[in-house]
Each structure stands twice: as C-alpha cells, then as structure tokens.
Amino acid sequence: MEDKKLQHQAKTRVLFVCMGNICRSPSAEGVFRHVLARHGVADCYEVDSAGTHAYHVGEPPDSRARQAAARRGISLDGQRARKVRAEDFARQDLILAMDQSNLEDLQAVCPPEYQNKLKKMLDFGSAGGDVPDPYYGGNDGFEHVLNLLEDACESLLHHLEGERTGG
C-alpha cells in the first residue's frame, strides 16, 4: 500500500539558476540527475536549469563544464541555456540560485507568494556561501564547482527525500 502511495505522488520540481545558464546551473542539473539516478529516485523528480540573464539562450553548456562533468561520468548532453520565465516561480517546488547576486535577481522578480521557494544552492551541503563562477578561470574552477555541487546535491536529495517520504 505504501509503494502505491509513493507512485502517485507528484514529482518534486527543482530548478537550478545561475547568470547565463552555461556553467554552474547546467552543471548542478547534471550532477543532481546523476545523484538521483545513483539513488534510484530519478522518476520522483523533474530537474531543470535556467539563467537570470538571456546572454546564452539556446546554447549548450560551456565545453569546459561538459568536459569536467564527463570526466566524472556526468552528462550535460541535451541541455540548452534558457532564461528564467515567470511561470517557473509557480511551477517549481524549489529554485536554487548559485550565488547571492542571482538569488537577489530572482527575489526582485519573484511574486511574494513564491519567495519561500528561493534558496541558495550551498544552503545544502557543507560549504555554505556561493558557488563561484568558473567562466573566466581555468579548468580547476570547473572541477571546484563540481566538488561543491556533488556535496550540495547529496545533501539536497537527503533533504528532499525526507520531505517527500515524510521521514
């Protein structure tokens, strides 16, 4: 009986957000999908990413982000940059900004009734603070971002599974 109840639960929707949606947020989306698959709960979640700005709409993730993720067995394939849309605030269950600046950008356009859905990515995990933007740095920056995201995504899943299953 408990299994049937879980099967009929709505999927939890998570949106990861950075500025241009080509480095940090698509990496977070890929890492979280990887974590969900590893834990066998991918069917319980809907995962997406977006940017607060439209600089790169339609572009795939940065090649350095794709390469760094691929070295860890994480795929960013099929992702294309998009800008956060007004309907995202109502549709998503949780919207995770990669840094304080993007959180403030989201807060400025988010309707008051959905402000509680906005959090920073590193509110989960052990690092705290912001996920640094690796765009203008070297490959080490992308590796560092993935380290932060892997830790935060594990903690995020633990948190969400506790809410989803009531435990």
Q: Specify whether 133 is catalytic.
A: yes
Burial (CB count within 10 angstroms: exposed 0-12, middle 13-18, buried 19+), residue 21: buried
Is 32 a domain residue? yes
- Residue 42, pLDDT score: 97
Q: Does the residue 8 lie in any domain? A: no
- Active-site annotation holds for 24: yes
pLDDT for 167 equals 67
Indicate the number of domains in the chain: 1
Give yes or no for residue 8 having a pLDDT over 80.
no
In a domain, 5, yes or no: no
> What's the confidence (pLDDT) of residue 24?
98
Buried b (16+ CB within 10 A) or exposed e, 34-50: bbbeeeebbebbebbbb
Residue 3: is its pLDDT beyond 90?
Answer: no
CATH of the domain at 92: 3.40.50.2300
Residue 33 lies in a domain: yes
Whether 77 is catalytic: no
Give the pLDDT confidence of 36-93 residue by residue, as tens digits: 999 999 999 999 999 999 999 999 999 999 999 999 999 999 999 999 999 999 999 9
Question: Residue 4: is its pLDDT beyond 60?
Answer: no
Catalytic residue among 23, 24, 88, 130: 24
Tokens of residue 47, six digits: 């995962």
Judge whether 69 lies within some domain.
yes
Give the range of the structural domain holding residue 57, as residue numbers without chain letter: 13-162
- Predicted confidence at residue 166, as pLDDT, reads 78
Q: What is the pLDDT of residues 97-124, one digit of tens each?
A: 999 999 999 999 999 999 999 999 999 9
Q: Is 167 inside a domain boundary?
A: no
Question: Residue 9: pLDDT above 60?
Answer: yes
Question: How far is C-alpha 131 from the geometric centre of its chain's CA atoms?
Answer: 11
The reply to whether 52 falls in a domain is yes
Is the pLDDT at 148 greater than 50? The verdict is yes
The pTM (predicted TM-score) of the whole model is 0.93
Confidence of residue 139 (pLDDT cuts 50, 70, 90): confident
Q: Which of 62, 99, 133, 153 is catalytic?
A: 133
What pLDDT shows up at residue 44?
Answer: 96
Is residue 53 a part of any domain in this protein? yes
Average pLDDT over residues 116-141: 93
φ, ψ of residue 82 to 5 degrees: the values are: -145, 160
pLDDT given at position 55? 94
